[in-house]
Structure 1
Amino acid sequence: MSEPKDIVKADDQSTWELAWQKGVTPWDAGEAQPSLKEVVESSGLDLPRSGRALIPGCGSGYDPIYLSLALGLDCLGLEIADTAIKRATDLINKAKETNPNLKASISNQDFFTFEPSENERFDLIYDHTFFCAIPPSWRKDWGKQMAKLVKPGGYLITIVYPLRPHTETGPPYWIIPEHYEELLSPNFEKVLDKVPAVSSPSHEGKEKILVWKRS
């Protein structure tokens, strides 16, 4: 059975589309993760209830829909795979039929070259399986871009997944909570650090919640 690392090449981002075409998408759980719902619904954090949210590598679009409905945010998902973009667009359009106040959209853009204007920065960003999908050599740029895109006082929700023994190959690439600490601590304060109370079956024992507030 193929895995993402068998298809996706770090030097050829078009191979993400190939993974979607072949259905090699183990990150696609069919809904927003319980760990995200825990942060939003029971963490006690004063998350924004208006403004804009960004979800890089949003896949099929479950998270933009969930965050818009749960927090009332105008959610933008970034994605580079055409198959995923179509799925997400279709899912959002269907959700809008029963939730006319839903504010969610998908843009075919690279997170690392995405440059909104100063007054278009985000109140919240959510990273679930985006960080583990990028080559480790890109992580410093990930940290710089997060600091650039999150408004002062805004939040960055990171789900550290998959926690597993060290490996040199990917995606998903090896990650531990300390990797986030090193990149984010200069510009963010960590405001939540916990193992989720409930995880989806594929995530049990393999994830941790870290939430950051932009200084």
Structure 2
Amino acid sequence: MPDLYGIGFVQSDAVQHMRKIVDPGVTSTWDDAWKVDATPWAAGEVQPPLREAIEVNRDEIKWPKTGRALVPGCGLGYDVTYLAGTLGINALGLDASQTVLDRARASVKENPPPQGEASFEVANFFTYKPAEGFDLVYDYTFFVAIPPSLRGDWGKKMTELIKPGGYLITLVFPIDPYFEGGPPHYVQPEHYDEYLSSAFDKVVDRVPEMSAPGHVGRERLIVWKRV
């Protein structure tokens, strides 16, 4: 089986197959991909840099111990359950796919987090209107999954969703030489600055010390604080 998260990820057969199914501008096609497991981004576990940010460097940022967290494009929900169980907060996963959220809910029912609460909702991130804001948002593959033309709207929505003083964790991947097509779409760390710098302060910006083998040298951990 090829290393889907190695250097050839964006050109791999699995990604090309996914691209034939998914039209990033048509929300329903993400559900089509999950129905046939054309989901090469699904690593089946929490990415090491998220653990690094939350656990190893816990003195660097005082993460919220109460309140709410959000994971847009949450997929199978590993990050949602992890944030709930580690921080003891109520974590919500959003995804456009009913198929994958049915799996996520079944997984949480079988293995609930030791503290906090993990829940899921089928929703469009850009039109989602919660009753209250969030203290923490985690974006791993969502930014690179949406069409680049929507990145401005992504920044506006993050500003709207995150409470003043709240945090946005962005794990930037895949950082590769320029390539066309997507998803994933071409990304560099500075692409986030344009859409966040007016409403957020950058409090962490570094190459993670902990990375999955195929991610080494191809990702960056950036944490933002809502002003």
TM-score, normalised to structure 1's length?
A: 0.94
Residue type matched to 1:170 in 2? Answer: G
Deviation at 1:45, TM superposition (A): 1.2
Question: Contact between 2:75 and 2:104, CA under 8 Å: does it hold in 1?
Answer: yes
Q: Name the counterpart of 1:22.
A: 36
Q: Name the counterpart of 2:219.
A: 207
The one of 174, 178, 190 aligned to 1:166: 178
Q: Residue deviations 1:170-210, cap 9 Å, x none?
A: 00000111110111000000000011112112322211000
Where do 1:136-215 residues align within 5 Å? 136-215=148-227
Question: Contact between 2:14 and 2:40, CA under 8 Å: does it hold in 1?
Answer: no
Residue 133 (1) aligns with residue 145 (2): yes
CA distance in 2, matches of 1:209, 1:34: 11
Give SS of 2:111's match.
helix
Q: Residue deviations 1:69-127, cap 9 Å, x none?
A: 1111100000111221111111111122x73x34010000010001123xx10000000
Structure 1 residue runs of 4 or more that deviate by more than 4 Å after TM superposition: none
How much identity, in percent, do the aligned residues show? 49
Question: Contact between 1:155 and 1:212, CA under 8 Å: does it hold in 2?
Answer: yes
Where structure 2 has 5 or more consecutive residues not aligned to the other structure, the ranges are: 1-12
Q: Name the counterpart of 2:61.
A: 45
The CA RMSD measured in Å over matched residues stands at 1.2
Where structure 1 has 5 or more consecutive residues not aligned to the other structure, the ranges are: none
Give SS of 1:131's match.
helix
Give SS of 1:58's match.
coil
CA distance in 2, matches of 1:12, 1:157: 26
